[in-house]
Amino acid sequence: MGPNARKVGVLGTGTMGAGIVQVASQAGHPVVACDLSVEALERAQVYVREGLSRFAQKGLISERDAEAAYDRIHWTLNLEDMGKAEAVIEAVVERVGAKKEALGALDAVLPHDSLILTNTSSISITELASATNRPDRVCGTHFFTPPPLREAVEIPRGLLTSDETVERVKELMGSFGKHPVVIRKDVPGFVGNRFLMPMLIEAARLLEEGVASKEEIDLIVKKGIGFPIGPFELGDLIGLDVGLDVISYVHDELGDPFYTPPRIIKELVRAGRLGRKTGAGFYEYPEDS
């Protein structure tokens, strides 16, 4: 463990939270991983073990380092175990109410100087920070999917986020081996989702109108435009429920009819076809894929 290692908390151990746990532990930080559900913690344990194992198999880290990284993680159902963390990253569902509740709970258990960070991909940091008594020490840390592989992290600041907090967050993300990009204005969707969600919306509309099949649209985006992944594949990767939450939030905040959620995405979410994590979204995913 390096001399600059600080205890980091992660609240919410779904796909994003589990990935952030892996990133932080792999970087040498002791990590407290907390969720309300035993099942979520167990899924996250499998995710992190397999993720570290893949890094070791590729020779990116040693087997010993992979084991040491896993051993740095404390898995818990008890929020109070976060009590000595220098920073906690909240990674619960992408909805305002749930996130404000989570940040308020963290505010009650963390030391006064600890940072409260949120992995929101679209929601106002200013609004989320209002649920705490330390809005100057609340900031966004938006990791991309999957966190162990994506190198950039958006750092959206709220209206009251202090410059000192932003510098501490940049330094922490740098210690994770990430490229922090400060988002200077607290706009809905920040940069990443203001770019990605219109692509998913347009692809869904083209599909609904029968212009081309989902496979053909993904092929054009990958083999024509040159993106590494097609919009429907991307939607399935991030989770169509997450995509719908983001699109709905940006639509509500901006009042722009362009962001009206496409019916096909709403129908897939209602049917429980959320993407890779449920085995089916726009595409089917066999268990061994």
Q: The domain spanning residue 217 has which CATH number?
A: 1.10.1040.50
Contact 70, 47 (CB under 8 A): no
Same structural domain for residues 128 and 207?
A: no
Residue at which a domain ends, from 183, 217, 237: 183
Q: What share of the chain is helix, strand, coil (3-state, %, to 5)?
A: 50, 15, 35
Residue at which a domain ends, from 183, 208, 227: 183
Q: Would you please indicate which residues are annotated as catalytic (active-site) residues?
A: 121, 142, 154, 193
For 9, the 3-state DSSP assignment is strand
- Is the pLDDT at 227 greater than 50? The verdict is yes
pLDDT tens string 91-105: 999 999 999 999 999
- Residue 259, C-beta contacts closer than 8 angstroms, at least 6 positions apart: 197, 201, 247, 250, 251
Q: Residue 253's domain spans which residues?
A: 193-278
Question: 48 in a domain, yes or no?
Answer: yes
Same structural domain for residues 54 and 149?
A: yes
Confidence of residue 125 (pLDDT cuts 50, 70, 90): very high
Same structural domain for residues 259 and 122?
A: no
- Is the pLDDT at 3 greater than 80? The verdict is no
Residue-level pLDDT at 246: 95
Same structural domain for residues 14 and 150?
A: yes
For 220, the 3-state DSSP assignment is helix
Residue-level pLDDT at 4: 59
Across the chain, mean pLDDT equals: 95
Residue-level pLDDT at 289: 53
- Is the pLDDT at 288 greater than 80? The verdict is no
CA distances from 223 to 64, 213, 286 (A): 40, 15, 25
- Is the pLDDT at 2 greater than 70? The verdict is no
Question: Mean pLDDT throughout 104-117?
Answer: 97
Main-chain dihedrals φ then ψ at residue 272, nearest 5 degrees: 80, 10
Same structural domain for residues 35 and 119?
A: yes
Residue-level pLDDT at 112: 94
C-alpha span between 200 and 208 (Å, rounded)? 12
Confidence of residue 287 (pLDDT cuts 50, 70, 90): confident
- Is the pLDDT at 273 greater than 60? The verdict is yes
Same structural domain for residues 42 and 100?
A: yes
C-alpha span between 140 and 285 (Å, rounded)? 32
Question: 243 in a domain, yes or no?
Answer: yes
Residue-level pLDDT at 82: 93
- Is the pLDDT at 1 greater than 90? The verdict is no
Same structural domain for residues 170 and 217?
A: no
Instruction: Give the domain CATH number at 114.
Output: 3.40.50.720
pLDDT tens string 23-62: 999 999 999 999 999 999 999 999 999 999 999 999 999 9
C-alpha span between 126 and 235 (Å, rounded)? 27
C-alpha span between 115 and 9 (Å, rounded)? 10
pLDDT tens string 233-271: 999 999 999 999 999 999 999 999 999 999 999 999 999
Instruction: Name which residue leads in pLDDT, 4 or 139.
Output: 139
Residue at which a domain ends, from 183, 215, 236: 183
- Is the pLDDT at 5 greater than 90? The verdict is no
CA distances from 263 to 81, 201, 223, 259, 286 (A): 42, 10, 27, 12, 25
Contact 218, 283 (CB under 8 A): no
Q: Which runs of consecutive H residues, i.e. helices, occur in 152-229?
A: 163-175, 192-208, 214-219
Considering its fold, how many domains does the chain have in total?
2
pTM of the complete model: 0.90
C-alpha span between 96 and 122 (Å, rounded)? 10
pLDDT tens string 179-223: 999 999 999 999 999 999 999 999 999 999 999 999 999 999 999
